Amino acid sequence: MLTDSTTTNGHTDSYAKTEIIKEIDGNSSAINEKEDKEWTPLSWRTKPIRQGVVYDDQEHLQRVLNKLQHLPPMVTPSEIHRLRSQLRQVALNKAFLLQGGDCAELFEYCSQEPIESKLKVLLQMSLVLVWGSRIPVVRIARMAGQYAKPRSSPTEKVEGKEIISFRGDNINGFDPSDRKPDPERLLRAYFHSAATLNYVRSIIGSGFADLYRLSDWSLHHVRSNRTRQEYQTIVDRLTDSLDFMRMIGADSPSSPLNSVDLFMSHEGLLLDYEQCLTRLLPDPETGEKKWYNVGSHFLWIGDRTRQLDEAHVEYFRGIQNPIGIKVGPSLESNELQKLLDIINPNKEIGKVTLITRYGADQVEKYLPGHIQAVKASGHIVVWACDPMHGNTRQSSSGVKTRHFNSIIEELSKVIRIHKNNDKCIGGSMQLADADLALNYKTFCDPRLNYEQSLDVAFLIAKYHEKERSGPSL
């Protein structure tokens, strides 16, 4: 559970307004400020931590962590470096980043139909984006590990009773009777992640993403005739081009038309878990041993855990994986510059992705200053827009949701602001409150439905298509 005070070296500040836990186990040693700040997977334990989890049975937790430390990697350094190479191209405005998936996965999503459905949405969105922008799309899925969720409060009220908040399937259960944090859920998270990733690899390797099989990517969820027709027009034109390539022998079994790269991502929230999956492995390019998180290709630091001198930043500064940082209104420009210097001291291009989340009514106030601060710092980052998390409201029935118009408004403003600052950045249905029971699919924050996701892709693709064509005469 979350604590509601600041704990440092055993002394509690009862006036603190943040939820921070200071944890140091027997494997960690205190680090004097004057001593060398050499990084290890354990060094985060010397720092205060937000969104931490307290387990009643520490011996049980340690047995689980010992087990996790000996389980095999889910991803490899070669895959991680391939993603870093592709994100470098995004940072240099030579590719486009598309990241999508669940706000919070559930273990029950580890099943054939949910996995295939998410992949189809990502593939269809990326196809639309490639067609409109004529640049490669880097695809990252929020899946195979996105089980934890930060919460603004350690407790919530359910049927008038205050209970521990639901923190995600790898911590506790959604059922009110199952809110006690359970270490065994960390193991279940690993095995559900591994099973999900294994199936993704299998179907991608078996031609699921083959452009010669576009007709298999069903549109049965899309009710708008306009969206169906727009997508079908792209498919028809692309199919004609592929038929021509096949006729002249320009295709081959090893062609990139037959498959795609698809990378996995999740928020690196539970550092006990992430520490266990951090391994010292050879760099595939130099052979030098470096620290990699082998539980996912890409991890990000949340808006609630990016404090400069605390545990999450300390952990993230030491791993070779590409890293995302959520950027919102509460992040000062000078703090952003310091954060980039800590996470990416060598200023490697594309190592860091800044995921902005302001809200449609605040993006114009904060984004220009953040862009200028990054330019002044000398860092070359990937800019990504998360138009979901800053536009949350409650419907009349109490369901947390977002108006599609607000999402499109923020996205449109972000594109315009980046263009004005010489930077590039990687629906047909507006839901009424009465529709939410049908479309509300997540146990935490609401997400775009299938049709709205395609509408967003069309919006961005048409913008890039217009930019390619130049102003009309």
Binding residues: 103, 142, 326, 357, 389, 445
Contact (CB, 8 A) for 137 and 87: no
Contact (CB, 8 A) for 240 and 442: no
**Binding site per annotation, positions for phosphoenolpyruvate:** 142, 326, 357
What is the C-alpha separation between 263 and 75, in angstroms, rounded?
9
What is the token pair recorded at 159?
């049927």
Q: Which helix (H) or strand (E) holds 99?
A: strand 96-101
What is the C-alpha separation between 228 and 243, in angstroms, rounded?
22
DSSP letters for 375-428: HHHT---EEEE--STTS-EE-TTS-EE--HHHHHHHHHHHHHHHHHTT------
**Binding site per annotation, positions for Mn(2+):** 103, 389, 445
- Dihedral sign, CA of 218, 220, 224, 229? positive
Q: Which helix (H) or strand (E) holds 158?
A: strand 155-158
**Residue 327: strand, helix, or coil:** strand
What is the C-alpha separation between 113 and 118, in angstroms, rounded?
9
What is the C-alpha separation between 41 and 149, in angstroms, rounded?
22
